[in-house]
Amino acid sequence: MALQEKYQALVDAATNAGVSNLAVREQDGVLYIDGDAPSGAVKDQLWDVYNQIDPNYASGDLILNVNAKVEVGSQVKVITQDSNLNIRKGPGTDQPIVGKAAKDEVITLVSKANDLWWSVRTKDGEEGYAYSQYLEPLA
Amino acid sequence: MKKILAVLTIAGFLFALPSCKGKSDADLKTAVENALHSNPDLSGVSVEVKDATATLSGEVKDATTQSAAESTAKGVDGVKGVDNLTTVALPEPVAPVVVTADDSLQAAVADAVKDHPGVTVSVSEGVVTLNGDIAKDDLKILMQKVQATKPKRVDSKGLNVK
């Protein structure tokens, strides 16, 4: 339970920020925190708390997997750092690029192939798979 | 005169009888139900009343709620005793930790580090090991992507944060 104490401020922040389906468990020296954040901003805030407790995320004793909840069919914003987001034929970086979406561009989430790759459609009608960690729900 | 007095006495006695007996069990049941169900946590509690003793049953979320049900029922005027047969609901099962199998994990972390050319990654038995150089500003997004692949652990000691 020591890890739970170490990251208590993070769990509290998640609870206070309205993270749903919050699951916190410790297994073999690693704490796993999963849940659905109400927004991308909440996810980012939690990662900042994580970094305060464990500078540079260096301890390797936490897996934080709280992602902003996005409904299929809704609009999502591209949150790459500055580059374009590749839209690929299939779910994987080994798949050919069939289109691109600019940073801050708003595209439509068509379906979720898995947690990491989502099928999307741009305003220009380009369809393919994009990396979900570069997408967040519109605030 | 005596006769009239007797009739009045009997009538008075009959009139007074219900109040001697107190509220009926049915009335008490309604009163206890109303008291309990004003608290949303106690809406699932059922009540039966016999001889002014209330029997409570049903499921409540925790022990505090369970004792609240009992004290609420006891607080109802006319209730002589409470038999608390409510049960506490089991806590919701916590979702088990899911760790991605190495084959899938390998592909997933390769995708995750693709945009960070200075970083190399290896996977062994669920443990993702990161090496190389990363700008401090890029570290958060890298770790978000890597941890989202559901590894068992992330070893980033070999990562040089600049």
CB contact (8 A) between residue B155 and residue A60 = yes
Mean pLDDT, chain A cut into blocks of 10 residues (139 residues total): 90 95 93 94 96 96 94 93 92 93 95 92 93 88
Residue to test with chain B: of A26, A32, A70, A82, most B Cβ within 10 A: A32
pLDDT recorded at residue B96:
86
Q: Which residues of B touch A28 (CB under 8 A)?
A: 152
Residues of B in contact with A133 (CB under 8 A): 112, 141, 144-145, 148
Q: Cβ B145–A133 below 8 Å, yes or no? A: yes
Complex ipTM: 0.90
CA distance A91 to A74: 19
What are the residue ranges in chain B where pLDDT is below 70? 1-21, 92
Which of A91-94's residues contact partners 24+ apart within 8 Å by CB, and which partners? Answer: A91/A116, A91/A117, A91/A129, A92/A117, A92/A129, A92/B107, A92/B111, A93/A131, A93/B110, A93/B111, A93/B114, A94/B107
Pair B155, B129: CB distance under 8 Å: yes
Structure tokens at A114: 């898995």
Query: Over the stretch B27-36, which tens digit does the pLDDT of each residue have?
Result: 999 999 999 9
pLDDT for A2 equals 87
Cβ-defined contact of A65 to B150 (cutoff 8 Å): yes
In the A/B pair of chains, how many CB contacts fall below 8 A?
Answer: 74
**Is this prediction's pTM over 0.95?**
no
